[in-house]
Structure 1
């Protein structure tokens, strides 16, 4: 126990985390203003403090008033990057980013996230089974560790000075190392987990500083413990035991909560129960209730029950959660209530969505409503009668949802129920390849982009003015056509082989379809952080899905009329539409995916009829929904792959079907990617420096593939030599006849100046590699 601070019970009601971007994306705006040089570091710090304080006060207003009930989960960019900053784990390739005081200041922090002109940023990948992206630490034998940031302590002290004792947060040591990759300088076979003993003293030093600052609790986040890893379970178990032996044995420390979101803890529960931590959080929403024996092993530790879903927006079934709490309380000692995960994955407040119907709003719970649900369930534990009204109200809303019009549509269910195996298959690839070569006449290493071009302020302004009625639909459509013409002419001038229309009419690659399909609704203020300052507004998929009219055809048809080169039709795939929406939880995901797949199948047929010969169906989220436990993965991959095939299998042999994937560990799902049976697959590869080509080579991937050569998630412009080197690497591992050349992802978030320069360099590099291939063949 800490020397300075008296023992404080863990709060009866708390959240595991809270949205940190700001209710109106205030942090996004401040950070981007700082990057642009419009404000200085002091102004950025002031904006961050305003957001932190507003979060803390809002949660107190919602009833989370006990000491340490408010989670200190603020971040300027990413929680894993925060841990990297505190550990001082700067990769050697960046040189010395630490300042004279040995600290990683805000500019060094953002350098790791965004890179420099000469150095790529840290790799980015998905955070467990969410659409959040984290920055992957690079750890090797050469990595030095030291407490190089005081921000967690400073944020705690700031809140305390304003009368609120928060609960400091950091990614735990085992999760941090399991999520890391070996550095460029590490020897073959090096495992970052082998550096555990070297980082534990830094964590201990942080605990001591928090104790001195007055913190009674710290939250150490260990979601990697709910995942099946290639690292042997016994090795992870030993790392967990050692970590919490050291940290709980620190002479001066706050009380320790270990949180384990995103799934069932399973065997590692016993490991943590045997340590001297003070509280253990379990995901009791997604994960099953542990056995009575496993819970009894916790002894006098507090069990923090995550019975309210932090990952989706549906109203909690309070009656079912209360029954679960009864079961936990009967077997464990002290039980308190929290969310299953951080609520950073959901918007702030459903009451702000006045455009939604009263019925739909009554079915939903955003972060603020989840705090109220947690508080109600904590009240139930103390006095069941006091929560009866809240439980009855929730049960009535859930029953009303089940009976509401549009939730079930018999014509949709009849169509999905009549599907046969033939609906999921195209002709053999060799037949399609010959038909497409005859129809398209493409050169070796054909160049293309992924779909979107920069969304300028003019485009966004036009969309807003159209929504407000300040522009007629005809005026708005003409502005969009003008932008499409500009994009087509630019691609012609740059020398691209397969063109895109740039998607100026689309606010978001999922929301655009949600606005044009029955069974969806969209929010106005429902922003959720995807990575860094990037936010999305996930749509709400609440009912059976149908397409009442063509969605993309008129834009693709117009764009094709401007050029003799092939124009790609651009669709978002069924799995990604599900992954990047808040999806109904009242039926299997596979059923919902097939409904979306059939809507897209109809859209593809209409695009073909309009003369579009290449159609891209993006599935960047295919890896994202992969279950964290291996035993559950085969079933997921079956329905997810089938939904894509259902969408595309009606296409003619001569129609070239493309798909796109980004920011995932592709080797894990290479069989599934192959199973999509797309004619061309474009994949993120630039930030990971072409790692994926080794997976493609070892798998023997036999169709078209475009490993990305331009990382669009960073503002840096890759030079011609850099792109040439990436393409040369690709050609060594993948037959050149299969290779396409493209950026990692769409260009929506970039500016035109950097985009044009980068795309020009891509074409120059392609010409160099093409010339080399021709010379080698002659």
Structure 2
């Protein structure tokens, strides 16, 4: 029997200090060659164990084998030059030096499939694998070839579909596409962003999810959130179209965010991963606080479609803090699970 309110993480978990510098995004690897390959696998094993000990039901790799949720995928593709860099505005918030698309993009070999097979061997639990979504990929590059955001997104969607089909064959139960860009470029999302995402999931039989949040707990993101006003209604612009799409599950940020919970009503019928853990705060939620967030969400999503989750990835946090937050997530979900059973 499928467990009610199965818990999950949005994606990344902190890396061990022997693999990369802790509490830092884009942290360079401390190992090289064969040692790095072995170190990544050890970190993945450890990440699985920490999730299981904390009571997480749907296990991920914690993104232990990748430096960054978008660029590590792009690094393995043809047509992108990482030496040729340009400064672009990322998600309309901050400037970053990014690689350049110099020719047709393609995937000559699988990117994460071996890692996913390795993850599958570590656990009997359902596993989730995250890929960057097409719109977030184009937002992390300078395009000197296609000269069209939409055209490049469609090319990436085709490539993502190839990868996703192989991940499914490797035993992945949920394939999640990370699309923080969906909270920024609303017209594009509705014009072609969701359609590109549907191209990426074409032919898949496993569960599919899209993760849309307000970003990691880094300064550029927390500063931007302060400008969003008393109510964050961004999801309102995209949820109706997502509700009508083929994507099965939507993951969103609810803990300490100003998202009006009733917006989830716009997704009625979909499975919803409700972020009940704030990744931008050093304070560990109490199980009761997590339970309160979930109870609010249950007014707008059926219990069999609610997945308690984190707001976003936890790579920039300390391992101790991340562990405590995962335990709080599990304990809070258990409180509500118990209430639903009586």
**What is the TM-score of this pair, normalised by structure 1?**
0.39
Equivalence for 2:212: 661
Higher deviation after alignment, 605-614 or 451-460: 451-460
Equivalence for 2:262: 694
Equivalence for 1:106: none
Whether the 8 Å CA contact 2:240–2:267 is kept in 1: the answer is no
Equivalence for 2:227: none
The reply to whether residue 583 of structure 1 matches residue 151 of structure 2 is: no
Q: CA deviation at 1:477?
A: 0.7
2:192 pairs with one of 639, 654, 675: 639
The reply to whether residue 731 of structure 1 matches residue 298 of structure 2 is: yes
Take 1:606 and 1:448, find their aligned partners in 2: how far apart are those partners? 22
Residue-by-residue CA offset, 1:461-511 (whole Å, 9 max, x unaligned):
695455xxxx32x21110001100101011111111100011122111111
Gaps of 5+ in 2: 22-26, 215-231
1:488 pairs with one of 48, 54, 63: 48
Equivalence for 1:764: 331
Residue-by-residue CA offset, 1:145-197 (whole Å, 9 max, x unaligned):
xxxxxxxxxxxxxxxxxxxxxxxxxxxxxxxxxxxxxxxxxxxxxxxxxxxxx
Whether the 8 Å CA contact 2:77–2:106 is kept in 1: the answer is yes
Higher relative contact order (CA 8 A, sep 6+): 2
Take 1:678 and 1:550, find their aligned partners in 2: how far apart are those partners? 23
2:104 pairs with one of 544, 560, 564: 544
Change (3 A) 1:536 1:756: farther
Take 1:550 and 1:751, find their aligned partners in 2: how far apart are those partners? 31
Take 1:764 and 1:615, find their aligned partners in 2: how far apart are those partners? 25
Residue-by-residue CA offset, 1:524-560 (whole Å, 9 max, x unaligned):
99788979xx986533333221000000111111011
Equivalence for 2:239: 670
The reply to whether residue 563 of structure 1 matches residue 114 of structure 2 is: no
Take 1:574 and 1:668, find their aligned partners in 2: how far apart are those partners? 19
2:299 match: secondary structure: helix
Q: CA deviation at 1:638?
A: 2.8
1:732 match: secondary structure: coil
Change (3 A) 1:700 1:510: closer
Change (3 A) 1:503 1:537: farther
Whether the 8 Å CA contact 1:510–1:539 is kept in 2: the answer is no
Take 1:625 and 1:539, find their aligned partners in 2: how far apart are those partners? 21
Change (3 A) 1:535 1:443: farther
Mapping 1:69-80, distance limit 5 Å: none
Equivalence for 1:454: 14
2:108 match: secondary structure: coil
Take 1:680 and 1:502, find their aligned partners in 2: how far apart are those partners? 19
Mapping 1:710-729, distance limit 5 Å: 710-729=277-296
> Larger C-alpha radius of gyration, 1 or 2?
1
Whether the 8 Å CA contact 2:105–2:156 is kept in 1: the answer is yes
Take 2:154 and 2:210, find their aligned partners in 1: how far apart are those partners? 17
Take 1:507 and 1:743, find their aligned partners in 2: how far apart are those partners? 20
2:270 pairs with one of 691, 694, 703: 703
Whether the 8 Å CA contact 2:282–2:321 is kept in 1: the answer is yes
Change (3 A) 1:731 1:478: same
Take 1:767 and 1:524, find their aligned partners in 2: how far apart are those partners? 50
Gaps of 5+ in 1: 1-440, 627-632
1:459 match: secondary structure: coil
Change (3 A) 1:523 1:763: farther
2:5 pairs with one of 445, 451, 465: 445
Change (3 A) 1:668 1:762: same
Change (3 A) 1:773 1:636: closer
Equivalence for 2:183: 623
The reply to whether residue 685 of structure 1 matches residue 238 of structure 2 is: no
Change (3 A) 1:768 1:535: farther
Bigger fraction of residues in strand? 2
**Runs (4+) off by over 6 Å:** 524-531
Mapping 1:173-188, distance limit 5 Å: none
Take 2:111 and 2:332, find their aligned partners in 1: how far apart are those partners? 36
1:607 match: secondary structure: helix
Change (3 A) 1:584 1:673: farther
